[in-house]
Amino acid sequence: MDKSKRTPYFNRYFQTTTPRSIYSVVEGSQYRPCQNLSTTCQYKHVFEMEFYVTALDAEKTIKHIASIRLGSHNLEIETGRFNNVIRAQRICKLCNMNCVESEYHFLCICPAYSSLRRQYIHVSWPTLDKYYRLLSTKSNDCYINLANMLI
């Protein structure tokens, strides 16, 4: 979809198909995310179209960013869900840290990706706060580098 058409499409879609009550539930304090979006809720606080959807040109880049933000990927944290593996046993198979292969582990911790991490996202001394800032940045360059790591 053409970049200039994304905002009108988003607005039209959500204004015509989403009941007003859903907005209030999502934006209200009663909102309880499903487990695979619990991380997303740590850095997404407003129900609106994300910066990267309109700021980036390449749809491929947008898809990679969206997949890691929304848990639509092949990391153990998600594939284990489909195979009925309990969350604590969805261990990364690429390193010996015996950690759950979450998005945070993949992007900020796992030594198997350290060279890609150094090349693209430059996260030293990883913390959850840095991870949340990485996924909610308003920088085109940060998102492009992140997408390059994900490709």
- Residue 65 or 92: the one with the smaller Cβ distance to Zn ion is 92
**Least CB distance from residue 144 to Zn ion, whole Å?**
24
- Residue 49 or 123: the one with the smaller Cβ distance to Zn ion is 123
x/- letters, 65..104, toward Zn ion (CB under 5 A)? ---------------------------x-xx---------
> Considering only residues 102-141, where is the footprint of Zn ion by CB under 5 A?
110
C-alpha to C-alpha distance for 90 and 137, rounded to whole angstroms = 28
- Residue 49 or 100: the one with the smaller Cβ distance to Zn ion is 100
